[in-house]
Amino acid sequence: MIKRVAIPTALMTVSVFLPVGLTSLAQQTQSTSQQTQPKLSALDRQFIIDAAQGGMAEVRLGQLATQRATSNAVKQYGQRMVQEHTQANQELLRLATQKGVTPPTDMGPRYQAVMARLSQLPKTSFDKAYLTEAGINSHIESAVVYQREIQLGQDQNLKAFAGRILPKVEEHFLRARDLGGTIPGTNRNLQGGK
């Protein structure tokens, strides 16, 4: 009889302490994994924020262009921005998650203001303004963000990502500049002084 009572009592004792032991082990494992994952520099973290906001803005502004542009070429450019920046945004999100960084969920006040301004323009003025704001100005800003990461960033994965995306950003800028030359009233300086 004593043996029957001792085994259930022993099992209850083990079951009471087992979750505590597993919790402690899980906490030790989690802190060890956090210690082995290198901390990102402030510049690398800022790159994630800036690149994510710029990428989200390009997608949203590209969607707006597909709806509001009067030129088929500008609509196609907007669609290309949606496709290519969506892919880059997904890759950046994966990298940020691996690095333990939660990227922003919105495009930030600067891009929200651009979106609001472009949304309120008459359709006849939209193409020129979109190419200037989203196609040229935003890609110039993005190029600076990516170049800064390539030159000064410390995280090799983020630097490699920036190195892969920068040529696309530059290509987007050039395409917007060239398209701007076909839109009446577009500033000639946007064409590189042609």
CATH number of the domain encompassing residue 68:
1.20.1260.10
Residue 120 and residue 46 share a domain? yes
Confidence of residue 5 (pLDDT cuts 50, 70, 90): very low
Residue 186 and residue 93 share a domain? yes
Contact yes or no for 54/98 (Cβ under 8 A) = no
Residue 48 and residue 30 share a domain? no
Residue 129 and residue 163 share a domain? yes
| pLDDT number for residue 75 | 96
Q: Tens of pLDDT along 116-125?
A: 999 999 999 9
| pLDDT number for residue 99 | 94
Residue 111 and residue 47 share a domain? yes
Higher pLDDT, 36 or 25: 36
Residue 141 and residue 63 share a domain? yes
Contact yes or no for 64/130 (Cβ under 8 A) = yes
Residue 53 and residue 145 share a domain? yes
pLDDT at 76 over 80: yes
Residue 17 and residue 67 share a domain? no
| pLDDT number for residue 14 | 40
Residue 56 and residue 19 share a domain? no
Instruction: State the SS3 of 38-84.
Output: CCCCHHHHHHHHHHHHHHHHHHHHHHHHHHHCCCHHHHHHHHHHHHH
**% of the chain with per-residue pLDDT over 90:** 72
| pLDDT number for residue 10 | 41
For 158-190, give the DSSP string.
HHHHHHHHHHHHHHHHHHHHHHHTTSTT--GGG
Higher pLDDT, 189 or 59: 59
Residue 49 and residue 25 share a domain? no
Residue 123 and residue 76 share a domain? yes
Confidence of residue 126 (pLDDT cuts 50, 70, 90): very high
Residue 115 and residue 32 share a domain? no
Average pLDDT of span 101-125 = 95
pLDDT at 162 over 60: yes
- When divided into structural domains, the chain yields a total of 2
| pLDDT number for residue 194 | 36
| Structural domain that includes position 49 | 39-191
